[in-house]
Chains A and B, each alone.
Chain A
Amino acid sequence: MHMADALLSPAVGTTFWAGSMGIIVYCAKKLKENIDERMIPLMGVLGAFIFAAQMINFTIPATGSSGHIGGGMILAALLGPYAAFIVIASVLTIQSLFFADGGILALGCNIWNMGVYPCFIAYPLIYRTMVKTGSGSRRILIASILSVIAGLQLGAFSVVLQTMLSGRSELPFSTFVYMMLPIHLAIGLVEGFITASVINFVKSMRPEIIESISLSRSLSQGVSIKKVFTGFLIMAALTGGVMSWFASSHPDGLEWSIEKIYGKPELPEQEHGIAPALKQVQDKTAFLPGYNFKQSDEASTKLKGGESWPAIGAGTSVSGIIGSIMVLGIILLLGAGIKILKTRRA
């Protein structure tokens, strides 16, 4: 479910980066205020545990194929939302660097998709409200399954949204949703079952462990649902606002489809109402207008001129291809040259 750099537009990527970074800073502040010191090594080791546990495969019931755990909800149940979010974020960071899962720009989206939903939606709204200190194992089972499914569905849906907003993939919205959601429903069932069983296992084997962890994090009060909701609404409004801004200055996906309808890369402009006012703001604030880092006049007239943009004349396209091949050849030759020089010197 890792989002990838190549499917993102800079606007979507940076927006989610900012969002995820903001939440990391918020969680760090929360933890700093009231953390037991022993939580620090515990968080680190549990992060490493998530990696290591993913190396151990099991057979998925009824399919025969093998899978591994995700582990987000185990962390949330053990550590509480703030610490769990930091652990998930750091695990994803290391995954994006060492395993190239997703990529560095997509890291923001990935932390959002796999961290925010389980820690700040599913955990406080479902798990925490259902499971109290004395809850039985069946209750834990139901709560885990429901919360894991909710977290995964939101995450999967958000992957679809990010892909759509970026406009790099042509995958139709409904097809993408139909593909992602059922798969993650099945994954969520299995993952939820495992989450509950692991928690119950630890509880029955070493009940004092869970108690001592919950004691050391009892300093930090639970997440208030009201705060979560308002915070999420503000974030949604912000991301929505920023996103729609950028989307309207998008030179690709959107314009491409608009062009198919109108024959022009831009919609006929509205003369009054909120749109022109917004456009003015956007013209003033968009720091990469249309993402063309200030092109030369000639290029921009070519863009806006009579010829619609993607219809490149045959001549230019041929020169583009020849140029590409030559550039690539030169780069590879130079690279090989440096390598040969280096080995000779060594």
Chain B
Amino acid sequence: MPNFDKEYFNIGYLDTLSYRQTFIHRINPGIKLVVTLVFILIVVSFSKYEIHRLMPYFAFPVFLISAGEIPTGVILKKIFIVSPFVLFAGMFNPMLDTTIVYTISGVPVSGGWVSYVSIIIKFILTISSALLLIATTSFPGICSALEKLRVPKVFVMQLLFIYRYLFVLAEEAMRIVRARNMRAFGKHGRDIKTFINIIGTFLIRSIERSERIYHAICSRGFDGRIRLLRDIKFKFTDIIFALLSVSVFIILRMYDIAELIGDAVLKF
């Protein structure tokens, strides 16, 4: 799967998306983080047979995609790439849970299929909201929000450092792979012995790099914390966004909108 790596590590793209300027991008990162967390918690709180109640929650990712001007294809592709484990873990539901729960125009539907579909829907909802969070929020913004939420400083700094050097080292790894491919024919050079030498050298290089970084930041007066140029403040729109979205999530949790609409349609 040569494409897998390309897609999986194509994080630079999500990062560039996060620097766009839309109404969604301008919302306070902390607010967006908390709203996303609430969204995920409420989505997973539904029991495994309530597919129709999950449907209204598609409003959140769809809204973020459209208002945040995020290309839909990218998000769908990323969801698809990470789906195998969930597809596997739910695979046995249809086989083992064969109690009939619905009958749709004579076709019986077993509880297992219903719960499998609900797992897949939950998967799409939760994963897309996580991806959309990062696609509409700059990572340093999220980190400063985490710091405000009292997450330990060492951890936040760690996140910022990884984010900073991820792209640098990823490029180095790509150069290494390219060099190996050019020197090796077919499968040669991919054996475990060569691999260990490559990784070992790469590790030594990385450690040396960290020493250089340490000297560099020391000479620039590093005192153990990374500062952001501008402080992120709460705006009126942030509070409106938070209140609106969370109350919509809760209302949808309390009332079965899909069924109400369905009832209304059937009564006509």
Contacts and interface: CB of A to CB of B under 8 A. Distances in A.
B131 A100 contact: yes
B56 A327 contact: yes
B210 A41 contact: yes
Contact of A51 (B169, B200, B201): B169
Nearest to B190: A59
B92 A56 contact: no
A134 interface: no
B44 to A, nearest CB: 6
Given A8-B44, A24-B152, A24-B155, A48 B162 contact: yes
A102 B89 CA distance: 13
A296 B63 CA distance: 29
A1 to B, nearest CB: 8
Interface string B226-261: 000000000000000000000000100110111111
A34 B157 CA distance: 17
A104 B40 contact: yes
Interface string B65-80: 1110100000000110
A165 to B, nearest CB: 13
Interface in A9-56: 9-10, 13-14, 21, 24-25, 27-29, 31-32, 35, 37-38, 40-49, 51-53, 55-56
B187 interface: yes
Given A197-B196, A252-B47, A318-B104, A57 B217 contact: no
Given A6-B126, A202-B204, A323 B66 contact: no
A338 B40 contact: no
B48 A252 contact: yes
Interface string A132-171: 0000000000000000000000000000000100011111
A45 B206 contact: yes
Interface stretch (A83-91, A233-241, A270-278): A83-91
Say what secondary structure dominates the interface of chain A: helix
**Chain A contact patch, size range:** 35 or more
A227 interface: no
A202 B211 CA distance: 16
Interface string A324-338: 101110011011111
B52 A100 contact: no
Interface residues of B, number: 126
A322 B95 CA distance: 26
| Most chain B CB neighbours (cut-off 10 Å) among A46, A97, A193, A296 | A97
Contact of A52 (B41, B161, B172, B257): B172
Contacts of B256: 320, 323
Contacts of A10: 41, 44-45
A91 B91 CA distance: 29
B262 A323 contact: yes
Given A172-B92, A310-B101, A318-B104, A291 B163 contact: no
Contact of A291 (B47, B176, B200, B265): B47
Contacts of B97: 170
A295 interface: yes
A339 interface: yes
A81 interface: no
A42 B92 contact: no
Interface in B25-75: 36-37, 40-41, 43-45, 47-49, 51-52, 55-56, 58-59, 62-63, 65-67, 69
B257 A104 contact: no
B267 to A, nearest CB: 9
B261 A326 contact: yes
Nearest to A59: B190
Contact of B170 (A52, A100, A194): A52
Nearest to B33: A104
A179 B177 CA distance: 32
Interface of B: 5, 8-9, 11, 14-15, 22, 36-37, 40-41, 43-45, 47-49, 51-52, 55-56, 58-59, 62-63, 65-67, 69, 78-79, 82, 85-86, 89-93, 95-97, 99, 101-104, 111-112, 115, 119-120, 122-123, 126-127, 129-131, 133-134, 139, 142, 151-155, 157-166, 168-170, 172-174, 176-177, 180, 187, 190-192, 194-204, 206-207, 209-211, 213-214, 217-218, 222, 224, 250, 253-254, 256-263, 265-266
Interface of A: 1-2, 4-10, 13-14, 21, 24-25, 27-29, 31-32, 35, 37-38, 40-49, 51-53, 55-61, 66, 69, 74, 86-87, 89-91, 93-94, 96-105, 163, 167-172, 175-176, 190, 193-194, 197-198, 201-202, 205-206, 209, 213, 251-253, 256, 260, 288, 291, 293-296, 310-312, 314-324, 326-328, 331-332, 334-339, 342
